[in-house]
Amino acid sequence: MKKIVGITCGRTFKDGSPHREYQNTAYCVAVAAAGALAVLLPVSDPAAANDYLDRIDGLLLPGGIDVNPHHYGRARHPQLGETDEGQDLFEIAIAREAWRRRMPILAICRGIQLLNVALGGTLIQDLPSDCPSELVHRQTAERPVSTHEVIVDCESRLFRLTGQTMSVNSFHHQAVDTPGSELRVAARSADGVIEALESDVHPRVIAVQCHPEETAIHDAKSQALFRQFVAWL
C-alpha cells in the first residue's frame, strides 16, 4: 500500500467568489512520481493538527505567501507581501507536532521559512532591501528553469543526495535569517543566503528554499529529494 503525504494548502479570498483552498499540481505530481500518494490539507483550526497527522505518513510544507513577522518577534517590513494569519497558525501547529513526532518533513520555499519560524528562528523579510545582491532570487524565467547554483555543506545529509552543488530555480524575496532551534544550515547560495536546512536531532527532514517540485520533471537531484522523502515514510 502506498504511503500518504499531506500537503498543506494556501487559500484565496475573492469578493463575490467562493473562498478556495488550493495547491500547485507540481507538488502532487512530484510526490506521485516518487511513489507516494498526495492529499491536500486545508487551512484548519490548529487544534486539528494532530488529527490530520494521525492520517498521513509524511508532511510537505509548500511554497506560498509570506509568514507574518509577529510570529518571530519582528515588525512588518514595508516590502512584506500578503500574509494569512489562519494559514500561519495552522501550519506552525502542524509543523511543530510533526517535528515532535519525528515525522518525515519536506519543506519547500515558504515551507523552509515556516518550519524555521515554528522552531524559533527568524526571517529576512525582503532580500532586495536588506541583503542587496547581484544574484537574482526572484527569477523571471519559467518555473522549471534553474537560474543559479547553491553550495552544499559536505558534512550534510543533503550532500549525499546532491553533491557539492545543485542548480536551482528561485522564487522568493524572503529567506531564513537565524536558524531555529535544532536546525542547521545545509546549503547557501554564492551571496550567503541560506538555501537549505536540516537537523541532527530529526534526521528525516529536507528543507530547501528552491522549488524542486518544478524541476523534478528533468533534474535528477530534484528527483532525489522527493525519492528520499518518500523512502522515509
Q: Which residues are catalytic?
A: 109, 211, 213
Provide Rg for the chain, Cα atoms: 16
What's the distance, CA 176 to chain centroid? 11
Give 105's DSSP letter.
E
Contacts (Cβ under 8 Å, ≥6 apart) of 26: 143, 211, 213, 214, 216
Residue with cell 557539492: 164
| 3 state DSSP class of 131 | coil
Residues 6+ apart with CB under 8 A from 115: 61, 95, 99, 105, 107, 180, 183, 197, 205, 207
Residue of 145, 185, 187 lying closest to 166 (CA atoms) = 187
